[in-house]
Chain A
Amino acid sequence: MGGSSYPPLRAIYKSTERVDGMYKYILGRLIVLVPVILALTFVVFTIMYFTPGDPTAVILGNEYSEEASSHLKAQLGLDKPFFVQYVNYVAGLCQGNFGMSYITRAPVGQQLSARFPNTFKIVIAAMVFTVVLGIPIGVYSATKPNSVFSNITMVVGLLGVSLPIFWLGLMLILLFSVNLGWLPSSGMDHGFKSIIMPAVAVGANYMANVMRTTRSSMLEAVQQDYIRTARAKGVSRGAVIRRHALPNALMPTITVVGMNMGALLGGVVLTETVFSIPGTGRMLVETIKSRDTPSVLGCLVIMALCVAISNLIVDLIYAYIDPRIKAQYKKEVAQ
């Protein structure tokens, strides 16, 4: 376990100059996010604006009348031209105001902050499940490529990437709630217990994906010359895998995990529907059905932000693991 190449690299990372460069890079990336979110809201706003149907008819329901409708339109700012409405929305967004829900008449921000934690918990749990199971299994099966275990993981991995989330969720409910009675079948009232199944359902695909990616990149890594050199020098098998093969093999895995963040958020819409969880995913489906534009926009903005931030985190982890990329940051900052 004697210290080899790691301490000096960490020292570089922690030097003030380095940290300074990182901050500038992060800030730059966050600034780039602004136009992306703006464009995204514009597109969704346009789509929803030109969607046929009068939102006031939905809100008023039975109490609908010409007069009430025009009164409400003036109240909600819906009588203004398209661009004025959009600018108003963005101006509100800049102040953290997501607007007012057409249906509940409550601020969308309030509802998002009530529901997002549930989604967040599931996504994080799924991420942990994916990484904690996927990477070790992938690594282990790569170190023994022709064993029974390795072959089983390959088959399971192949089947796993093809499982539809919503069906897996239904099957889990049937097995663990209906037949065995171990876990609650819906809602978020049972603490950790109610997170397990939704997280497994949404994460199973990605676990299989991470496992396969780790396995194949690990298989490639252990064939490299530097591995043979390290072994020839007398470094133990375990140490070679941990310190020489793994850091190199993890790069594709990190890419897959990071890209999965977006897919996980897409999948959350389905898990939350299957397990009746009050999260942003189900909120999105419900509000789309009721044509509640501000709520739809709010959900999409939050989810897009999540994806963008997780992409940023992945890039930073890249830089932490791969010194070559770190050197690039330095150059960019210097320019």
Chain B
Amino acid sequence: MIEQTAKAYATRKEFYRQFGRKSRGAQMRRRFLKNKTAVIGMILFLLIVITAICAPLIADYKGVAIKQIRSERLQPPSARHWLGVDEMGRDVLARIVHGARISLVVGILAIGVSLLIGGTLGALAGFYSGWVDNVIMRAMDVFLCLPDVLLALAIVASFGTSQVNLIISIGLAFTPKMSRVVRAAVMSVRSNEYVEAARSIGARNGRIILRHVLINCIGPIIVQVTLYVANAILTVSALSFIGLGIQAPTPEWGNMLASGRDYARDAVHIVMAPGLAIFFTILSLNLLGDGLRDTLDPRLKQ
């Protein structure tokens, strides 16, 4: 019936226009844009992303970010060096900007890895339930006994501290949490009528999961992914800070803090800048995540 009515109008948009209703996407967009803090978070995060992409335009990597000019060590912020110079005579601004690339790439790809592994396991557990669910979730429970920083520490210790290993380690560390999120989301839509309808017309399980179930529980997953990316970025810098992450001279916010801490007494700017960079990145993602939650998952609205 609805199908036929909808077909009478050339597009869904036209259908909605005729009935004076905005499409679901438009409704959500409006709800999101009304949320001031969420918009601030999004703009802040986009700015950080753009800075990271444009890093080579702002400061040359070889010529500025890792180049040591001994004579200018520990200089405070000035017109020439906006954020000052660090303990090795390197421009802090250049290192912050290039550090953003590493933090974002590692953080986002790590959560990608966890989404790939944890998402698959969670979707299987939630969809099939029964023994599949039991086996997968009991295995995940084992890892949930360790905080994700520790888990990442243990894994990175054996893999070694290259950037790729860091991505895999942090991704694996977030896998148990991710599988729980996806499982819960899948379980909440699994018994809907459209799933049954899809099955009754002969769709296979794989198709049902990918085309019907996952599409419909994408909301809560996106919310958690945003918040987990913040956590992953924090984990990258935490690991680098204790010396088990990105290694110097590659600029990374965590290792900048670690190497600068001994000089913080005389030159506060070298620990101020990376700390604030981490802080604003995490803040922007938290604001964005909270805003998305209010938009995509109105039941949880605070």
Contacts and interface: CB of A to CB of B under 8 A. Distances in A.
A235 B212 CA distance: 51
**A interface majority secondary structure:** helix
A170 B271 contact: yes
Interface in A239-273: 262-263, 265-267, 269-270, 273
B242 interface: yes
A308 B145 contact: yes
B150 interface: yes
Nearest to A185: B265
A300 to B, nearest CB: 6
B52 to A, nearest CB: 18
B158 A265 contact: no
Pick the most buried of B230, B238, B283: most chain A CB atoms within 10 A of its CB. Answer: B238
A283 B257 CA distance: 21
B261 interface: yes
Interface of B: 37, 139, 141-150, 153-155, 157-158, 160, 230, 234, 237-238, 241-244, 254, 257, 261, 264-265, 268, 271, 274-275, 278-279, 282-283, 286-287, 302
12 contacts: A43-B143, A50-B158, A164-B282, A167-B278, A262-B144, A267-B149, A269-B153, A269-B242, A285-B153, A288-B153, A300-B150, A308-B145
A40 B286 contact: no
**B interface majority secondary structure:** helix
B154 A36 contact: no
Pick the most buried of A158, A164, A165, A216: most chain B CB atoms within 10 A of its CB. Answer: A164
Contacts of A262: 144-147
A170 B157 contact: no
Contact of B244 (A51, A166, A289, A291): A289
A216 B302 contact: yes
A162 interface: yes
A82 B265 CA distance: 49
Contacts of A161: 286
A163 B145 contact: no
Nearest to A164: B278
Given A166-B238, A174-B265, A178-B265, A44 B150 contact: no
Pick the most buried of A51, A265, A304: most chain B CB atoms within 10 A of its CB. Answer: A304
Contact of B145 (A40, A47, A166, A263): A40
Given A158-B283, A171-B275, A164 B238 contact: yes
Interface string A36-74: 110110011001101110000000000000000000000
A44 B241 contact: no
A267 B254 CA distance: 14
A102 B150 CA distance: 21
Given A51-B158, A262-B147, A263-B147, 6 more contacts: A39-B142, A40-B142, A170-B257, A173-B264, A262-B144, A270-B242
A207 interface: no
A284 to B, nearest CB: 7
